[in-house]
Amino acid sequence: MDFDDTPQEAAWRSEVRSFLERHREELGSRRSDRNADREVARARQATLYDAGFVGVTWPVEAGGRGGTPMQQAIIDQELARLGIPPLVNLIGIGMCGPTVMAHGSDDQKQRYLRRLLRADDIWCQLFSEPAAGSDLAALRTRAVRGADGDWRVNGQKVWTTGAHLSDYGILLTRTDPDVPKHRGLTMFVVDMKTPGVTVRPLRQMSGGAEFNEVFFDDVVIPDAERLGDVGDGWRVALTTLMSERLSLGGGGTDIGIGPEAVARHVADHLDALPPDRQVLARQELGRAYVAALGSRYTGYRQLSKLSRGEFPGPEASAGKLASTRTARDLADLAVRVLGADARVATTRDGSGLWQELQAGLPGMAIAGGTDQVLRNIIGERVLGLPAEPRADKGVTFRESLAAERTKP
């Protein structure tokens, strides 16, 4: 990969940069606003969308501008450089939108996609459940079709990021328990204001409350809101999961913090440490810095694939695995060097307090595929190692539930 901008990329970067600098006040900084106010966050995304900087790679008919992944990457880099807060509808753009685009009806695409890009509607992803996370296909939320053709949904989701802010969600349900678990699933778009949907925020150790439990009690979903065929929900969900892994681990943007930000901030404090701790901290900083640059360049490699029109395969899992590890190492190091100051010191790019960042990053090792599950994927699908045993292969979901219940 060539790390220098081509003349076209340089022209695009300068257009983006000058727009962002002109609108910097209106767009806010991470320090002043962390998407706490939904309306402020929506307005920020609308400003960027109206300038043509959101959904750049999406087709024009879906509300995008039919641009290249490199153009989008340049926008992301420039937003990060100026410390502008992340878009409020990232899950909508990164996961729900691509799923609607690939599997929705023309009517759904027309109604949802452009509004999603502009944050006129905010979206969430309703997949995980108390008994179904890594083993997502074991989910139990049940959708039953009534005589009128509509569906009635009962069950519970958990860890739903942004459900408390959302207008719509993509909802994976079980419609047939009498076939093997991956085959009896169906995906829907659900209006989060439908009677019977209850959203309860969960408090995290980092202090935030971005996740929720979501309960469905006899929630009616019209059949026109189905995404894909009945029983084909697993295939539809794979579109979401692949888009998620790409948007979390690819593209050469840093997870949470850039190595330069840490290096600069930590370096300022090194001299205050006792000499023996200084030596160790310098060594750790060097190691973590190099690893972080390595994962950034791994991201660029994926970006190169995308810009050649290729789709990154299971190796996207390696990018997410590596960038999560290095971000955690950098934040741990910063907190150890800063000591008690980490409770009040803000990261240089203003993305938050060091201690909050350190407490929040372990979540990245779980979201979008845990580290262990990603290692399984790399082992089986990249390295060709033998697959792990799957006890529920070939049995229906109902049978595997019954076997679960009779376990000693």
Ligand X SMILES: Cc1cc2nc3c(=O)[nH]c(=O)nc-3n(C[C@H](O)[C@H](O)[C@H](O)COP(=O)(O)OP(=O)(O)OC[C@H]3O[C@@H](n4cnc5c(N)ncnc54)[C@H](O)[C@@H]3O)c2cc1C
What does DSSP assign to residue 64? S
Which of the residues 78, 129, 210, 244 is marked catalytic?
Answer: 244
Interface with ligand X: number of residues (CB under 6 A) = 18
Alpha-carbon span 281 to 333, nearest angstrom: 8
Report DSSP letters for 75-125, one per residue.
Answer: HHHHHHHTTPPPPTTHHIIIIIHHHHHHHS-HHHHHHHHHHHHTTSS-EEE
**180, 222, 350, 363: which one contacts ligand X (CB under 6 A)?**
363
Is residue 366 a contact residue for ligand X (CB under 6 A)? yes
Rounded to the nearest 5 degrees, what angle is found at the Cα of 292, between the Cα atoms of 14 and 27? 40
Does 15 qualify as catalytic in the annotation?
no
Is residue 372 a contact residue for ligand X (CB under 6 A)? yes
Alpha-carbon span 229 to 98, nearest angstrom: 17
**134, 196, 272, 343: which one contacts ligand X (CB under 6 A)?**
134
Is residue 90 a contact residue for ligand X (CB under 6 A)? no
**133, 180, 208, 231: which one contacts ligand X (CB under 6 A)?**
133
Is residue 278 a contact residue for ligand X (CB under 6 A)? no
Minimum CB distance to ligand X smaller for 91 or for 306: 91
Is residue 128 a contact residue for ligand X (CB under 6 A)? yes
**370, 380, 381, 395: which one contacts ligand X (CB under 6 A)?**
370
Is residue 302 a contact residue for ligand X (CB under 6 A)? no
Alpha-carbon span 98 to 178, nearest angstrom: 30
Of 49-57, 125-133, 148-156, 223-231, the window that binds ligand X (rule: CB under 6 A) is 125-133
Answer for the pair 210, 73: CB distance below 8 angstroms, yes or no: no
Backbone angles phi, psi at 351, to 5 degrees: -75, -5
Supply the minimum distance, in Å, between the C-beta of residue 365 and ligand X.
Answer: 8
Minimum CB distance to ligand X smaller for 81 or for 203: 203
Of 185-193, 284-292, 313-321, 369-377, the window that binds ligand X (rule: CB under 6 A) is 369-377
Scored b (16 or more CB within 10 A) or e, 18-28 reads ebbeebeeebb
**367, 378, 395, 401: which one contacts ligand X (CB under 6 A)?**
367
What x/- string results for residues 139 through 178 when contact with ligand X is judged by CB under 6 A?
Answer: --------------------xxx-----------------
**57, 108, 376, 396: which one contacts ligand X (CB under 6 A)?**
376
Rounded to the nearest 5 degrees, what angle is found at the Cα of 365, between the Cα atoms of 364 and 369? 95
Burial class (CB in 10 A: 0-12, 13-18, 19+), 3: exposed
**Residue among 1, 165, 19, 38 at smallest CA distance from 79:** 19
Is residue 385 a contact residue for ligand X (CB under 6 A)? no
* Residues 253-272, interacting with ligand X (CB under 6 A): none
Backbone angles phi, psi at 368, to 5 degrees: 65, 30
Is residue 18 a contact residue for ligand X (CB under 6 A)? no
In the complex, residue closest to ligand X by CB: 133
**Residue among 110, 109, 113, 3 at smallest CA distance from 49:** 113
N-terminal to C-terminal alpha carbon distance within the chain: 55
Is residue 35 a contact residue for ligand X (CB under 6 A)? no
Supply the minimum distance, in Å, between the C-beta of residue 36 and ligand X.
Answer: 17
Is residue 127 a contact residue for ligand X (CB under 6 A)? yes
Token pair 């910097």 in the structure block, residue: 24
Binding site for ligand X (CB under 6 A): 91, 124-128, 133-134, 159-161, 363, 366-367, 370, 372-373, 376
Catalytic residues: 244
